[in-house]
C-alpha cells in the first residue's frame, strides 16, 4: 500500500516520501533519509508532478539507473528541457541534489525569453563556485527570484538541498510557472482552495459550561463559528466539514434524549447549528451511536448536508448502513477571476470500536469493517464518479505505522493511501499539527502525515482545522500543487460569538439551563473531600458506587460477566496548587446536575480494567505514594502528605479492604510510576471477600479513561481495558436520578495504620474543621495561612 504514494503528495509533503517503507528509491534510501537530503530523482518526479507535465510510458529513457516507475517522469523532464543525464546511460537518480542543480532546473521551467545579466551573480561572495556553463541559467534564477542567498552573502551553489528546502523551491517554481507558462500553456488555471473542519464538538454548541452554570470563552461552536466566518473571508473557495461526536457530551445532549427527546421531523440542535453555519458534509463519530440507530436516523433526517459513513454495513443486507461517500460539484474561482467546476470526493469512516462501546445498540444489526481498508476500497469508486480531489473524514485517531485489523486509530494508514488528498481526523481529543511530533513521517510545520495534509482540531470547538491548497487546472485535469494543514484557536480574549449558532440553539440551550438547575436527587448529609487523603470519604464512595452501577449491566453477556467487580475513585478536588477553596463541598439538600462539577471535576469517560490481584496491589502501592514516610522513632511533628503526589493519583479501590503502612518507604515515584524501592510494601492485609487476595485472580476494576490508558503501575499490566463512551459524570447523573435521596456513607474499607508515639500532621482547608464528625483519629490543631489549617492524624 505504501509504495503507491504518489504524485499528488509530492508538493504537499516533500520531506517524507523516501522515508517510507517500499520507497521507489532504495539504493541509498537509508543514508539519504537519515541525512535529510533531497535526491535528483525525487526532485525531478516532484517537479514534473507540480507542473503537470504530460506523462508517457518512459520508453525513450536509456538511463540504466532509472526504473520503470520513475522513467515517465524523467522522460517528461528531458522532453521539457529541464534536465540532462550525467552521461548517456547514467542519470544519477539517487545522487544528492545541489542548490545549483535545483535552481537551474527551476529556471528552465519558467518559459520566458527575458534575458538576465550575469552581473546578478556579483551579489554573492562565492560567485566563483558557480559552474561556468550554468551561469546564465543561475542569473535567470536569481532574476526570477527563485534563488535567494544566505545572510552571510553567499549562495553556496554546491551545497546539498535538504528536503524541507526542496518544498520551498518547488513552491516558488509553481508560482513562476503560472506567470511564464510557455507556448500552449496559457490555459493553465490556479485555484486557492480551503477545507475547514471541526470535530468532537460533543454538544458544546454554546460557549457555556453547564456543569459550572456560566458562560466561557475558550470553547463552543458559537465561538468556532467566528473563526469559520474569518476563514471564509480569507479564501474565495471553501468547504466546511464536521467529523462527528456531535450529539452527546454535555447536559444539552442528555436533555434531547431524556428530558425532551428528539421527535420525528424535529431538527436536533447540534444539526441545526451546523445547518446555520452552512456545513457541506459531516461524517459520523462513535458517540452518534450512543442512543441507538432509530435515534440516529432522526438526527440525520434534519441535516441540510450529506452525513456519511462507509465502513458500517447492515447485518442483514450486507449493504452500507449509511451514505458511504459524496461527490460535491464545487464551483471555484481561479486567481484570474475565472469560474471552474471542481468535483470534490468525500469519504467518511468511524472507529470500529463502536461495536464494543455501543454493542447493546448495534450487535445483530450492523457490522463494522476496518476504516483504512474501507477508504482504500471506496477510493476507485469516488474517482470513477469524477472526483478531482478526495478528502477523508476519519473519526479515528492518528495511530502509527503499525496496522492491526479493525484498529481504531488509523489516520496514519489512510494518509499513506494513493489518492487521498487531505484528512479531517479526530477522536483523540488532541491537536494536529501540534501533538504527535514523534510519529513516523509526521511533518508538523506542513501539517502532513506521509505527505498528506491532516488536521485534528482538538475537541469541543476549541479549534478550527484548515486544509489549504493550491490547485492547478491544465488540459482539463486538476492537480494538487501544494497542500498544508493547520489549526486555529478560538479568541479567548473576546466575547464575540456567531449569532447564527446562538439563534439556532436558543430553545435547546434555555431548556438545558432549566434542566441542570432542577434537582436530580437529594443528599441527607454534606458531600465533602476535606479529608479524602487521610480517611475513607463519602464524596469518593458515591462516585465508585455510580461507576459500578453503570458497568454492571454493560458487562452482562461479555466474557468478563462473572468477574468480581471493583470500583476506583480519588479525591479529585483537594486544595494543593488550586488553593484552599478547591475542595468538594456539596451541602445537604438538593443535588442538581451542575453540582456534579464539584463532585467530579474532569470530563473523563468510564473504563473497565481487567487485571489480577497482584496488579491491584501494585495499583494501590502507586496511590500510597501520596504519603511521606513516617519515622516511628521521631516524636515531633511529621507532615504525612507528599506535595508532589497529585490527589487524583490517590486511587481508593472499593470492593477490597486494605491498610496503608506509611512507616514503609514509597514503592513508586509520584510522577511517572518508576520503581524507587522494589521491596517496599505499604499496602498491608489486602483482602477480597474477607480473605487474602489471590494474586492470580482476575477482577474488573471500574475507573476512567485517563487511568485506563495511562502508565499507572498495576494498570499498565492489565489484560484488557474496556473504554466506554459515557462520561463518569453522566454515570453519576443516571445513578442519582434513580435515588430519591442518597444517604452518604463510607464502608471504611481502608485506613492509614496508626504509628504510636508519633505526631502525624497534615493540612487541609480550615473549613474541614466542621466536617470531622465523630472521627476520633482526626484532631484540629489550628489555622495556618491562606485558608488552610493543621490537623493531626492519631
Which pLDDT tens digit goes with each residue over 260-309? Answer: 999 999 999 999 999 999 999 999 999 899 889 999 999 999 999 999 99
Alpha-carbon dihedral 142, 145, 150, 151, rounded to 10 degrees: 120
pLDDT at 181: 55
Q: Are the beta carbons of 758 and 638 closer than 8 angstroms?
A: yes
Closest CA to 430 of 200, 590, 771, 653: 200
For residue 552, pLDDT beyond 70:
yes
pLDDT at 418: 93
Number of neighbouring beta carbons within 10 Å of residue 558: 14
pLDDT band at 779 (very low <50, low <70, confident <90, very high): very high
Closest CA to 720 of 600, 558, 568: 558
Number of neighbouring beta carbons within 10 Å of residue 14: 29
Q: From residue 470, how far is each of 188, 199, 237, 480, 482 by CA, in Å?
A: 13, 24, 11, 6, 5
List the grid coordinates of 179: 506567470
Please state the rounded mean pLDDT for residues 665-693: 95
For residue 765, pLDDT beyond 60:
yes
Q: From residue 185, how far is each of 178, 474, 516 by CA, in Å?
A: 9, 8, 64
What is the C-alpha separation between 593 and 731, in angstroms, rounded? 12
What is the C-alpha separation between 284 and 282, in angstroms, rounded? 7
pLDDT at 1: 36
Interior angle at CA 699, CA 696 and CA 703, nearest 5: 135
Number of neighbouring beta carbons within 10 Å of residue 619: 26
pLDDT band at 182 (very low <50, low <70, confident <90, very high): low
For residue 488, pLDDT beyond 90:
yes
pLDDT at 179: 59
For residue 7, pLDDT beyond 50:
no
What is the C-alpha separation between 23 and 3, in angstroms, rounded? 6
Q: From residue 317, how far is each of 286, 320, 347, 363 by CA, in Å?
A: 22, 9, 21, 15
Please state the rounded mean pLDDT for residues 588-605: 83
DSSP calls for 282-308: EE--GGGGTT-HHHHHHHHHT-SS-EE
pLDDT at 52: 79
Q: Are the beta carbons of 311 and 350 closer than 8 angstroms?
A: yes
Q: What is the distance in angstroms between the CA of the first residue and the CA of the last residue of the chain?
A: 66
pLDDT at 113: 64
Tell me the average pLDDT of the chain: 89
pLDDT at 177: 66
Beta-bridge partners for 328: 344
pLDDT at 482: 93
When comparing pLDDT for 423 and 154, which is higher? 423
Please state the rounded mean pLDDT for residues 187-196: 91
For residue 651, pLDDT beyond 70:
yes
When comparing pLDDT for 290 and 436, which is higher? 436
List the grid coordinates of 206: 454554546
For residue 495, pLDDT beyond 50:
yes
Kindly give, in sequence order, each residue whose CB lies less than 8 Å from that of residue 46, ignoring residues fewer than 6 positions away.
Answer: 7, 10, 11, 14, 17, 166, 170
Closest CA to 336 of 181, 486, 115, 111: 181
pLDDT at 677: 96
pLDDT band at 21 (very low <50, low <70, confident <90, very high): very low
- Three-state SS for 585? strand
What is the C-alpha separation between 628 and 616, in angstroms, rounded? 21
pLDDT at 61: 85
Q: Are the beta carbons of 703 and 710 closer than 8 angstroms?
A: no
For residue 767, pLDDT beyond 70:
yes
Closest CA to 530 of 763, 782, 747, 729: 763
Q: From residue 531, how far is each of 375, 501, 572, 776 by CA, in Å?
A: 53, 44, 12, 13
pLDDT in tens, 224-243: 999 999 999 999 999 999 99
What is the C-alpha separation between 722 and 547, in angstroms, rounded? 13
pLDDT at 180: 59
pLDDT in tens, 70-120: 888 888 888 888 888 787 788 888 888 898 888 888 888 876 667 788 888
Please state the rounded mean pLDDT for residues 562-579: 90
- Three-state SS for 664? coil
Please state the rounded mean pLDDT for residues 687-693: 97
pLDDT band at 167 (very low <50, low <70, confident <90, very high): confident
Q: Are the beta carbons of 412 and 399 closer than 8 angstroms?
A: yes
Q: Are the beta carbons of 242 and 270 closer than 8 angstroms?
A: no
Please state the rounded mean pLDDT for residues 685-711: 93
pLDDT band at 14 (very low <50, low <70, confident <90, very high): very low
pLDDT at 74: 86
pLDDT band at 30 (very low <50, low <70, confident <90, very high): very low
pLDDT in tens, 310-340: 999 999 999 999 999 999 999 999 998 999 9
The 8-class DSSP code of residue 83 comes to: -
Burial class, 646, CB count within 10 angstroms (exposed 0-12 / middle 13-18 / buried 19+)? middle
Number of neighbouring beta carbons within 10 Å of residue 584: 25
pLDDT in tens, 448-470: 999 999 999 999 999 999 999 99
What is the C-alpha separation between 451 and 725, in angstroms, rounded? 32
Please state the rounded mean pLDDT for residues 779-788: 95
Please state the rounded mean pLDDT for residues 2-24: 35
Cis peptide before 433 (omega within 30 of 0): yes
- Three-state SS for 593? helix
Beta-bridge partners for 76: none
The 8-class DSSP code of residue 776 comes to: T
pLDDT in tens, 527-536: 999 999 999 9
What is the C-alpha separation between 454 and 463, in angstroms, rounded? 14
Kindly give, in sequence order, each residue whose CB lies less than 8 Å from that of residue 746, ignoring residues fewer than 6 positions away.
Answer: 535, 536, 537, 538, 541
For residue 571, pLDDT beyond 50:
yes
pLDDT at 501: 98
pLDDT band at 66 (very low <50, low <70, confident <90, very high): confident
pLDDT at 153: 84
For residue 15, pLDDT beyond 50:
no
For residue 514, pLDDT beyond 50:
yes
In this prediction the pTM is 0.65
Amino acid at each position: 500500500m505504501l509504495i503507491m504514494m504518489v504524485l499528488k503528495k509530492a508538493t504537499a509533503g516533500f520531506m517524507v516520501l523516501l522515508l517510507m517503507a517500499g520507497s521507489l528509491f532504495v539504493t541509498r534510501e537509508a543514508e539519504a533519509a537519515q541525512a535529510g537530503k533531497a535526491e535528483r530523482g525525487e526532485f525531478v518526479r516532484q517537479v514534473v508532478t507540480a507542473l503537470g507535465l504530460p506523462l508517457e510510458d518512459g520508453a525513450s529513457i536509456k538511463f540504466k539507473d532509472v526504473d520503470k516507475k520513475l522513467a515517465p517522469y524523467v522522460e517528461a523532464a528531458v522532453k521539457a528541457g529541464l534536465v540532462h543525464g550525467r552521461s548517456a546511460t547514467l542519470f544519477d537518480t539517487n545522487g544528492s541534489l545541489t542548490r545549483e542543480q535545483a535552481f537551474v532546473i527551476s529556471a528552465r521551467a519558467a518559459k520566458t525569453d527575458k534575458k538576465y545579466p550575469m552581473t546578478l551573480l556579483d551579489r554573492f561572495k562565492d560567485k566563483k563556485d558557480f559552474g561556468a556553463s550554468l551561469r546564465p541559467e543561475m542569473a535567470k534564477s536569481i532574476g526570477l527570484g527563485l534563488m535567494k542567498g544566505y545572510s552571510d552573502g553567499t549562495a553556496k551553489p554546491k551545497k546539498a538541498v535538504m528536503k524541507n528546502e526542496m518544498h520551498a523551491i518547488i513552491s516558488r517554481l509553481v508560482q513562476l510557472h503560472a506567470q511564464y507558462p510557455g507556448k500552449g500553456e496559457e490555459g493553465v488555471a490556479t485555484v486557492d482552495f480551503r477545507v475547514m473542519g471541526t470535530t468532537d464538538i460533543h454538544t458544546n454548541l454554546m460557549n457555556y459550561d453547564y456543569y459550572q452554570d456560566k458562560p466561557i470563552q475558550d470553547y463552543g461552536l458559537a465561538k468556532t463559528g467566528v473563526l469559520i466566518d474569518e476563514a471564509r473571508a480569507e479564501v474565495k473557495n471553501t468547504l466546511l466539514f464536521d467529523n462527528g461526536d456531535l450529539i452527546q457530551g454535555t447536559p444539552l445532549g442528555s436533555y434531547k434524549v431524556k428530558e425532551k427527546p428528539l421527535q420525528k421531523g424535529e431538527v436536533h440542535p447540534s444539526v441545526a447549528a451546523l445547518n446555520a453555519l452552512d456545513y457541506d458534509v459531516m461524517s459520523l463519530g462513535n458517540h452518534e451511536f450512543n442512543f441507538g440507530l432509530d435515534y440516529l436516523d432522526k438526527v440525520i433526517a434534519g441535516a441540510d448536508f450529506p452525513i456519511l459513513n462507509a465502513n458500517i454495513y447492515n447485518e442483514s443486507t450486507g449493504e452500507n448502513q449509511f451514505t458511504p461517500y459524496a461527490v460535491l460539484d464545487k464551483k471555484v474561482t481561479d486567481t484570474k477571476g475565472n469560474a471552474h467546476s471542481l468535483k470534490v470526493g468525500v469519504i467518511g469512516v468511524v472507529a470500529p470500536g463502536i461495536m464494543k462501546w455501543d454493542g447493546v445498540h448495534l450487535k445483530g444489526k450492523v457490522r463494522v469493517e476496518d476504516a483504512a481498508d474501507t477508504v482504500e476500497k471506496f477510493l476507485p469508486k469516488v474517482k470513477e464518479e469524477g472526483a478531482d480531489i478526495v478528502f477523508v473524514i476519519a473519526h479515528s485517531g492518528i495511530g502509527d505505522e503499525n496496522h492491526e485489523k479493525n484498529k481504531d486509530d488509523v489516520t496514519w494508514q489512510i494518509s499513506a493511501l494513493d489518492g487521498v488528498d487531505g484528512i479531517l481526523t479526530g477522536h483523540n481529543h488532541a491537536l494536529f499539527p501540534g501533538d504527535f511530533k514523534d510519529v513516523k513521517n509526521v511533518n508538523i510545520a506542513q501539517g502532513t502525515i506521509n505527505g498528506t495534509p491532516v488536521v485534528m482540531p482538538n475537541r469541543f470547538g476549541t479549534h478550527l482545522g484548515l486544509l489549504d491548497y493550491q490547485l492547478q487546472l491544465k488540459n482539463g485535469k486538476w492537480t494538487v500543487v501544494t497542500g498544508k494543514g493547520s489549526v486555529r484557536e478560538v479568541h479567548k480574549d473576546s466575547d464575540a460569538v456567531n449569532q447564527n449558532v446562538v439563534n439556532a440553539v436558543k430553545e435547546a440551550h434555555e431548556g438545558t439551563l432549566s434542566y441542570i438547575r432542577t434537582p436530580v436527587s437529594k443528599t441527607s448529609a454534606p458531600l465533602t473531600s476535606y479529608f479524602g487523603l487521610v480517611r475513607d470519604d463519602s464524596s469518593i464512595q458515591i462516585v465508585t458506587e455510580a461507576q459500578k452501577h453503570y458497568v454492571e449491566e454493560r458487562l452482562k453477556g461479555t466474557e468478563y460477566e462473572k468477574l468480581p467487580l471493583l470500583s476506583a475513585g480519588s479525591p479529585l478536588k483537594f486544595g494543593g496548587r488550586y488553593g484552599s477553596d478547591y475542595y468538594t463541598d456539596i451541602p445537604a439538600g438538593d443535588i442538581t446536575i451542575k453540582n456534579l462539577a464539584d463532585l467530579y471535576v474532569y470530563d473523563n469517560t468510564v473504563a473497565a480494567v481487567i487485571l489480577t490481584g497482584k496488579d491491584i496491589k501494585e495499583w494501590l502501592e502507586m496511590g500510597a505514594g501520596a504519603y511521606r514516610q513516617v519515622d516511628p522513632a521521631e516524636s515531633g511533628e511529621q507532615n504525612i502528605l507528599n506535595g508532589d503526589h497529585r490527589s487524583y493519583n490517590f486511587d481508593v479501590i472499593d470492593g477490597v479492604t486494605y491498610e496503608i503502612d506509611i512507616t514503609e518507604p514509597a514503592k513508586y515515584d509520584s510522577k511517572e510510576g518508576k520503581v524507587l524501592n522494589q521491596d517496599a510494601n505499604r499496602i498491608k492485609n489486602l483482602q477480597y471477600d474477607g480473605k487474602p487476595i489471590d494474586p492470580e485472580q482476575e477482577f474488573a476494576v471500574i475507573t476512567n479513561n485517563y487511568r485506563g490508558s495511562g502508565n499507572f503501575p498495576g494498570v499498565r499490566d492489565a489484560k484488557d481495558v474496556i473504554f466506554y463512551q459515557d462520561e463518569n459524570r453522566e454515570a453519576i447523573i443516571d445513578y442519582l436520578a434513580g435515588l430519591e435521596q442518597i444517604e452518604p456513607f463510607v464502608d471504611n474499607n481502608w485506613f492509614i495504620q496508626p504509628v504510636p508515639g508519633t505526631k502525624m500532621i497534615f493540612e487541609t482547608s480550615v473549613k474541614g474543621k466542621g466536617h470531622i464528625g465523630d472521627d476520633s483519629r482526626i484532631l484540629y490543631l489550628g489555622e495556618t495561612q491562606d485558608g488552610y489549617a493543621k490537623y493531626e492524624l492519631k
